[in-house]
Amino acid sequence: MDQKTIQKIRKDHQDNILDELRREKAAVLARASWAVEELLAKLELIDGTIQLKISFLSETRGQEDSRDVWRRRKLICEEINCSINEFNAVRKKAELKYYYLIVTREALGLRRHEMVQKIYRIPDKKKKYELDNG
């Protein structure tokens, strides 16, 4: 083999390795993004459940005359607070996964995160619900 052929083989090999590295970087970044997206979707579902239960409580407002209605409202309030606890726990995981995403981007040489902050906005922590709120 002549020198030119050897250089071409080396160049092709180097290009293949660089392509593989680029694909791996993209895959790592995608996995980090998907982890955040998955948790944000879960937060939306939990929030929807919370809002549904709160709206049900609003509909039953004024019916406190009955002991059963009051007990049911209190039970729903407890369910709402359980969902709020779940929301806040998932939110904390989402914050951690978001942090991992930013660290991954930094490790890959990506330094500007403004668009990522807009796309993956972590909602605020929820406070406990009280029957007076409804």
Question: What digits encode the pLDDT tens for the residues 70-128?
Answer: 888 899 999 999 999 999 999 999 999 999 999 999 999 999 999 999 999 999 999 99
* Global confidence as pTM: 0.83
From CA 25, how far away is CA 8, in angstroms rounded?
25
Tens-place pLDDT, residues 6-30? 888 888 889 899 999 999 999 999 9
From CA 67, how far away is CA 78, in angstroms rounded?
17
